[in-house]
Structure 1
Amino acid sequence: MTTSDYDDFAAAYAADNEVNLSNGHYERPAMLNLAGDVASRRILDAGCGSGLLSLALRERGARVTGFDSSVEMIRLARERLGEDPDLRVLDLAEEFPFEGGAFDDVVCSLALHYLEDWSAPLRELHRVLRPGGRLILSVDHPMVHKLVHPEADYFETSLWPLEHEFQGQKAVLKIWHRPLHAMVKDFTRAGFRIADIDEPPYAEDTPAELLPPEIRGRSRFIGFLFFVLVAE
């Protein structure tokens, strides 16, 4: 993911992310639920975007550090969070300027799937966690690619450009599809133990008008896949 990918539509994305179904009422509540009680925990928000998850974690008592590759996203995060948190412009694919074992948890929302090869980033995320620390992450559900493109080879790691519209502004998100077994192998090779895999419901307070007709009356839909990994 290049810096300009999100710089070009950061404000529109951030505004949409705050209230839409996929992020505001599904992904972010699920990440917070998986994180549980975070009071006094040192948490790194890797790919923090405009800081919505960081803010929610801080409100629950966490000590949050965040980074994102987008200059504009970090600017928005600083507007949201103030000058107290350590917020930096960093690329997830590069080495991190943090000491080993510096964090109790790392949260990584919908960021790793922008990388074709995430083996080195996973090792870095493992390095900055204390032993027993958690990496809580979300990625595009691998079945979505197959449902949208029935002709595609599910078992091949492949680039999947997704066109979205955020607050009327069109953008293309360059996501890498990878099958579940490949994800699991990469996690374990990086030194993680899988503590949980989740396909959660959307939030109970989701406004009815946000729900497409095909999922009304159901509590779940195939959107993202969530993992809790423990650093061993």
Structure 2
Amino acid sequence: MKEKVLQAYEKLAKDYEIHVDTESGHNAYYERPAMMKLMPSDMRELAVLDAGCAAGWYTEQFIKRGSQVTAVDLSPAMVEACKRRVGDETAVFTCDLAETLPFHNEIFNLIVSSLTLHYIDDWEPTFREFHRILKPGGCLIFSVHHPFMDFKHFDRPDYFAHELLKETWNKKESGPVEVTFYRRPLQEILNVTSAQFVIDRIVEPQPDIEFKDKPESMDWYKRWFDRLSTNPHFLIVKARKQ
């Protein structure tokens, strides 16, 4: 499975670097605004891990807010895209979140993982590692596919199944790419999280109306606003280490 994810995102890296910020409304007007509203009001000098940095949008935001950021991704091509974005302002390197993480105990104030964890089968080792490297009182904020969305979109027969799904994405730079990821029920997401952390907030985002009337976003809003206002596509969890 890891090799399939790696192959897909090596192909998708250029699309993420060139197009996602301006052409993917699901990121720009839906997931990112909802995630950023959960960030600490003052991020100056916080030690932050961007766990699954992709082309570095979140990494750049945290740097601008004065954080001490470390960014990691499974895909070397994504790591290079992130480096091109942020230069030498932070450490960016390849890392498998399903393995033991190369960090000392209790060194981060915040771990942010955007639309990454659904590519990992077993979350328990990953969340134990997140708990180990977070400082007491530190926060974990992550977004994943909403289990209700995957259940409906793929017309699955068993909501409670933990299963591997496949979808073909057709992008400008890469052409068609098969993307594989895991679907799991809401109770599994919450129970695995709460085994290590105290859950502070659950968010089922809706499109951010701040961008609704901007020329570059109007087409996306016309297509998706009503649907995403009534059917959740992503799920966001904010939790903390006691």
CA contact (8 A) 1:13 1:166 kept: no
Match of 1:27 in 2: 31
Q: Alignment RMSD, CA only?
A: 1.8
Q: 1:215 pairs with 225, 230, 234, which one?
A: 225
Q: How does 1:1-232 map to 2 (within 5 A)?
A: 1-2=2-3, 3-19=6-22, 20-37=24-41, 38-167=43-172, 169-189=175-195, 191-203=196-208, 204-206=210-212, 207-213=217-223, 215-216=225-226, 219=229, 221-232=231-242
- In structure 2, relative to structure 1, the CA distance for the partners of 1:184 and 1:217 (3 Å cut) is closer
Cα distance in structure 2, aligned partners of 1:218 and 1:13: 22
- In structure 2, relative to structure 1, the CA distance for the partners of 1:217 and 1:118 (3 Å cut) is closer
The superposition leaves residues 172-203 of structure 1 with CA deviations (integer Å, 9 ceiling, x where unpaired) of 221100000011111122x2110000012222
SS of equivalent to 1:9? helix
SS of equivalent to 1:144? helix
- In structure 2, relative to structure 1, the CA distance for the partners of 1:93 and 1:217 (3 Å cut) is closer
TM superposition shift of 1:147: 1.3
Taking structure 1 as the reference length, what is the TM-score of the superposition?
0.93
SS of equivalent to 1:95? coil
CA contact (8 A) 2:52 2:113 kept: yes
Cα distance in structure 1, aligned partners of 2:154 and 2:56: 32
Moved segments of 4+, more than 6 Å: none
Higher normalized helix content (fraction of residues): 2
Q: Which amino acid aligns with 1:120?
A: P
SS of equivalent to 1:43? strand
Cα distance in structure 1, aligned partners of 2:138 and 2:224: 39
- In structure 2, relative to structure 1, the CA distance for the partners of 1:194 and 1:217 (3 Å cut) is closer
State the aligned residue count. 231
CA contact (8 A) 1:13 1:167 kept: no
TM superposition shift of 1:208: 1.7
Q: Which amino acid aligns with 1:192?
A: F
- In structure 2, relative to structure 1, the CA distance for the partners of 1:56 and 1:144 (3 Å cut) is same
- In structure 2, relative to structure 1, the CA distance for the partners of 1:6 and 1:151 (3 Å cut) is closer
Cα distance in structure 1, aligned partners of 2:69 and 2:10: 23
TM superposition shift of 1:39: 2.1
SS of equivalent to 1:127? helix
Cα distance in structure 2, aligned partners of 1:75 and 1:61: 22
TM superposition shift of 1:219: 4.6
CA contact (8 A) 1:193 1:231 kept: yes
Structure 2 residues not aligned, in runs of 5+: none
TM superposition shift of 1:13: 2.9
Structure 1 residues not aligned, in runs of 5+: none
- Over the matched positions of the two proteins, sequence identity in percent amounts to 31
CA contact (8 A) 2:16 2:54 kept: no
SS of equivalent to 2:77? helix
TM superposition shift of 1:4: 2.4
TM superposition shift of 1:67: 0.4
TM superposition shift of 1:44: 0.3
